[in-house]
């Protein structure tokens, strides 16, 4: 009797362990890890929710920036943790060069213009943004809304201007490229940007490393070098008294890309996530978050109407994104040496 009872208990324990293993496996099978998918940025909150609803795959939010994402992927190269990654285009190109991402052609691959994807799919554009000034007009306390890069150097904006760290965050580097191009520099000569950053130090700028949307909405940072989509989100979704400004001297438009991580632990789930992001519904989420989806057909007239006129966007230019990636480290080194 005692022996029979012992066998029964042992079999029950074994069955329990097996069930737990199956449950754990099922949970793991329904997860994909994305580096740099922050809910506060570009309405990733809605995208992650839609991915879960449409695919059953949970993608936990992640608040890295592009530079931190690439550094982590390189550190984990021999034992990857992430399945997919989202980065500014120059970091996506670097990730491909460093061999930490692998080729994958997602759904609707043919709709992505040739210059906005790697030929074998190591990175591909999902949407783009235009850099300018995200301005909380209430926080200006009666001062005029700045209209140019030159305006930001004026003493009246002391302590009011913010930009993400140009040596780490992609949007910070984009700001440097935009300033440099507008002030006569080139991707071979960043000295105009370096001199600008030196000058603006007298205005005591705020230089965070992470996305700072909430700090603009609250008025803590009255003027942030940021993308149009964040400013439009503040205006139309959070009903804040904010404005987006395309500087008079010009700016740049840049793609954001996604990649499948090489040897990621949940590669099949990662592929499903990338497919959804490129689907009609996934692309429409970006459009409704005021980004320009890479598939132009996803931009509704209602979404387009909330952007500044095309005459304003005429001052936003593309650059050689491959070259932009090549010179990024040299710029960061110069910035850290001469400005920081």
Same structural domain for residues 64 and 168?
no
Same domain, 297 and 319: no
* Region class of 228: left (phi > 0), else alpha (psi between -120 and 50), else beta: alpha
Same domain as 233, residue 148: yes
Residue with the larger pLDDT of the pair 77 and 28: 77
CATH of the domain at 207: 3.40.190.10
pLDDT of residue 29: 60
What digits encode the pLDDT tens for the residues 209-260?
A: 877 899 999 999 999 999 999 999 999 999 999 999 999 999 999 999 999 9
Q: Please check whether residues 199 and 325 belong to one and the same domain.
A: yes
Residue 232 and residue 316 share a domain: yes
Rounded CA separation 99/74 (Å) = 9
pLDDT tens digits, one per residue of 3-37: 443 343 334 333 333 333 333 444 446 999 999 99
Would you say residue 44 lies in a domain?
A: yes
Q: Are 60 and 145 within one domain? A: no
Is pTM beyond 0.85? Reply is: no
- Domain membership of residue 41 as a residue range: 32-128+255-307
**Is residue 21 in some structural domain?**
no
Domain check: are 200 and 224 in the same one? yes
90 assigned to some structural domain: yes
For position 22, what pLDDT does the model report? Answer: 35
Residue-wise pLDDT for 275-310, tens only, equals 999 999 999 999 998 999 999 889 889 988 999 999
pLDDT in tens, 208-223: 887 789 999 999 999 9
């Amino acid at each position: 009797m005692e022996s029979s009872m012992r066998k029964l208990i042992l079999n029950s324990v074994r069955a329990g362990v097996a069930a737990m293993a199956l449950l754990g496996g099922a949970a793991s099978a329904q997860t994909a890890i994305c580096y740099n998918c922050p809910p506060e940025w570009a309405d990733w909150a809605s995208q992650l929710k839609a991915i879960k609803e449409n695919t059953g795959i949970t993608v936990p939010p992640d608040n890295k920036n592009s530079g931190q994402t690439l550094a982590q992927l390189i550190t984990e190269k021999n034992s990857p943790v992430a399945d997919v990654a989202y980065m500014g285009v120059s970091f996506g190109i670097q990730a491909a060069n460093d061999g930490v991402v692998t080729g994958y052609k997602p759904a609707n691959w043919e709709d992505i213009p040739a210059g906005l994807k790697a030929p074998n799919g190591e990175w591909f554009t999902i949407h783009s943004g235009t850099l300018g000034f995200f301005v909380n007009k209430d926080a200006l306390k009666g001062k005029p809304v700045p209209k140019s890069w030159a305006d930001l150097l004026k003493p009246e904006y002391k302590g009011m201007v913010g930009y993400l760290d140009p040596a780490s965050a992609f949007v910070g580097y984009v700001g440097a490229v935009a300033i440099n191009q507008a002030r006569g520099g080139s991707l071979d000569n960043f000295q105009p940007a370096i001199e600008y950053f030196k000058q603006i130090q007298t205005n005591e700028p705020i230089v965070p490393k992470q996305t700072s949307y909430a700090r603009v909405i609250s008025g803590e940072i009255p003027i942030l070098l940021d993308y149009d989509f964040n400013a439009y989100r503040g205006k139309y979704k959070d009903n804040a008294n904010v404005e987006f400004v395309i500087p008079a001297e010009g700016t740049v438009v840049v793609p954001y890309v996604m990649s499948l991580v090489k040897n990621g632990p949940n590669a099949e789930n990662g592929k499903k996530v990338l497919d959804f992001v490129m689907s009609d519904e996934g692309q429409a989420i970006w459009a409704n978050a005021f980004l320009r989806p890479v598939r132009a057909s996803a931009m509704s007239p209602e979404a387009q109407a909330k952007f500044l006129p095309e005459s304003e966007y005429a001052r936003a230019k593309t650059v050689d994104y491959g070259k932009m990636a090549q010179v990024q480290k040299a710029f960061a080194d110069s910035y850290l040496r001469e400005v920081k």
